[in-house]
Amino acid sequence: MNYQQHLETITQIGREFRYCKSVESLFELDQWSALPRKGVDYRQEMAAYVAREKTRLYCTDQAAQEEEYFAQVPLSEIGDEVERGVIRTFLQRRRVAARTPEDLQRQYSLIKAECMEKWKQAREAKDYRIFQPWLQQAFDLKGQIAKAIDPDRPAFDTLVGLTDDGADVEEISREFDVLKEGLKALMHKLSQGRAPQAVEYPQGDPAAMSAFAQSLARELGFPTDLGTFNDRVVHGFTSFMGPRDARVSTYRSGSHELIFTCLHEAGHAMYSTGSSQKVIDAGLWGGIEGGFHEANSRFYENMVGRSRAYWDYCFPKLVNTLPQFAGMDQDTFYLGLHRVQPSLKRIASDEVTYSLHAILRFELERDYFAGKLRAEDMAQAWNRKYQDYLGLCPPDDTQGVLQDMHWAGDYIGYFQSYALGNIYDGQILQALERDKPDWQEDIRRGKFGPLNDWMRENIWSHGCCLTAGELVKQITGSSLDARPFLKYLDEKYSVLYGLAPQ
């Protein structure tokens, strides 16, 4: 076989892998929205079958031969990014599928349900000690699996790489330190300024709010022929069903917060459906998973959705469409969105403090896998970090170390992605402002096309051909850098707090 034939072979494996992932997305959406309780057992059987088939694609003799062949091909000499992406993702998936020891994986699957159950029990009892041995087992098994996948790398680096492909723990730690210190300094600075008043936002009819929020997401650039909305789920998420098919799920609520959820999910949806045809044909559509996808969604939620320009355009619509806002003036509405208030809860935190929640979780995981932190000390270490970074101490474990389901739910080595998303956003913003200095003026006039065109050309069309690090370098010329995000926050919030930007 020649190079082209080898390439076609692994491209086809990649396409079939993508089919399986689409089926899994369908299952997930169905599970959250329509699956009856008694349907769960059979569904789990089917889901396990699809997961096995997905792994099996990379465990055949043919896949082994292709790995041998492509291990000899110097990736850096391949000019075409799609070809490079096909080979890189093939080798990565092959490594994970072929080297994950079946017995360890089985052990992990066996404790998974119990782990979640103990986490729930511990939350109810507000007592971390109930969950502690399960956390330890889950972390240790994950660590062993990671070591088997790549014996030459520290386990935590491999786990982080499974969420954020190509990410480097040392580099992340360095930039997180910069971000952490910058955020602490900014919080201190803002404490000297004039904080916006707390606003009691009116609640309205959930159906009307849902329709309004969806109309804004459509207007932003997520048209009806690329996907649908379903507002009957308990939390917001987007399922990437196909290259031109994204399903946005949200909860129903009469709160204005739903607008930001819809803008966030529209960001995921537009990214996942914006791949070029060449990328789709290669099975690499949908965007880069992990922190970089989060960067896209948070860009539309925060950089666009919480900007002055956006509300100059949108506030009159809000007032005209939803009667509960009739008496409110735009400044009150807008300033109230930007009150910085350290809190104990990650998902309720504001744009400034949010990253600190993610960074401290990342640090706890990193220290655990480095042998510097024991499971029995996790709750205390958590509390100390909250005190240090946010000036707050959780009154109990449920509001502390037990607050997220991640560690009980197979998301270990995941939290960095939330803060990475913000860092990437700062860098994306910097590049956008270099190329389109008037982009805010377009937003103010309700023109989202130029922004989306820029995103499509620079980010969306590339699918997951490149790693986040490679793509950011391509767009900005620099590697991971927390400073542009800090600059964005400082400029925005200093003005809102009546202070001078740095």
| Terminal CA-CA length for the chain | 60
Q: According to DSSP H, which parts of 100-127 are helical?
A: 102-125
Which is nearer to Zn ion, 55 or 238 (by Cβ)?
A: 238
Q: Give the residue nearest to Zn ion (CB).
A: 297
Q: How far is the CB of 268 from Zn ion (least distance, A)?
A: 6
- Cα distance between residue 286 and residue 306, in whole Å: 25
Half-sphere exposure of 208 (CA within 13 A, CB side): 12
Distance of CA 137 to the CA centre of its chain: 26
- Stretches 215-223, 297-305, 308-316, 317-325: which one binds Zn ion (CB under 5 A)? 297-305
- Stretches 5-13, 295-303, 338-346, 459-467: which one binds Zn ion (CB under 5 A)? 295-303
Which is nearer to Zn ion, 297 or 403 (by Cβ)?
A: 297
Which is nearer to Zn ion, 250 or 297 (by Cβ)?
A: 297
Q: How many residues bind Zn ion (CB under 5 A)?
A: 1
Whether the CB-CB separation of 353 and 183 falls below 8 Å is answered with yes
Q: Amino acid identity of 417?
A: S
For residue 166, what are its two tokens?
A: 């190509």
Residues 6 or more apart whose CB falls under 8 angstroms from that of 257 comprise: none
Q: How far is the CB of 294 from Zn ion (least distance, A)?
A: 5
Strand partners, 172: none
- Cα distance between residue 300 and residue 267, in whole Å: 6
H/E/C letters for each residue in 419-458?
HHHHHHHHHHHHHHHHHCCCHHHHHHCCCCHHHHHHHHHH
Q: How far is the CB of 422 from Zn ion (least distance, A)?
A: 12
Q: How far is the CB of 272 from Zn ion (least distance, A)?
A: 11
Site string for Zn ion, 75-94 (x = CB under 5 A): --------------------
Which is nearer to Zn ion, 25 or 297 (by Cβ)?
A: 297
Which is nearer to Zn ion, 261 or 275 (by Cβ)?
A: 261
Strand partners, 237: 249
Q: Which of residues 253-272 bind Zn ion (CB under 5 A)?
A: none
For residue 182, what are its two tokens?
A: 């910058």
The vertex-77 CA angle with 74 and 81, nearest 5°, equals 105
Q: How far is the CB of 208 from Zn ion (least distance, A)?
A: 25
Q: Amino acid identity of 451?
A: L
- Stretches 252-260, 271-279, 293-301, 469-477: which one binds Zn ion (CB under 5 A)? 293-301
Which is nearer to Zn ion, 186 or 423 (by Cβ)?
A: 423
Q: How far is the CB of 349 from Zn ion (least distance, A)?
A: 15
Q: Which of residues 273-292 bind Zn ion (CB under 5 A)?
A: none
- Cα distance between residue 154 and residue 143, in whole Å: 9
Which is nearer to Zn ion, 238 or 427 (by Cβ)?
A: 238
DSSP 188-249: HHHHTS-PPPP--PPP--HHHHHHHHHHHHHHHT--GGGEEEE--SSS-EEEEEETTEEEEE
Which is nearer to Zn ion, 241 or 318 (by Cβ)?
A: 241
- Stretches 25-33, 88-96, 296-304, 305-313: which one binds Zn ion (CB under 5 A)? 296-304
Which is nearer to Zn ion, 66 or 265 (by Cβ)?
A: 265
- Cα distance between residue 132 and residue 135, in whole Å: 5
Q: According to DSSP H, which parts of 322-374 are helical?
A: 330-336, 354-369
Which is nearer to Zn ion, 299 or 454 (by Cβ)?
A: 299
- Cα distance between residue 96 and residue 54, in whole Å: 12
Residue 297 interacts with Zn ion (CB under 5 A): yes or no: yes
Q: How far is the CB of 300 from Zn ion (least distance, A)?
A: 10
Q: How far is the CB of 359 from Zn ion (least distance, A)?
A: 18
- Stretches 91-99, 294-302, 335-343, 490-498: which one binds Zn ion (CB under 5 A)? 294-302
Among left, alpha and beta (phi > 0; psi -120 to 50; other), residue 74 is: beta
Which is nearer to Zn ion, 237 or 325 (by Cβ)?
A: 237
Q: Amino acid identity of 247?
A: R
Q: How far is the CB of 267 from Zn ion (least distance, A)?
A: 8
Q: How far is the CB of 421 from Zn ion (least distance, A)?
A: 8
Q: How far is the CB of 301 from Zn ion (least distance, A)?
A: 8
- Cα distance between residue 415 and residue 391, in whole Å: 21
**Residues forming the site for Zn ion (CB under 5 A):** 297
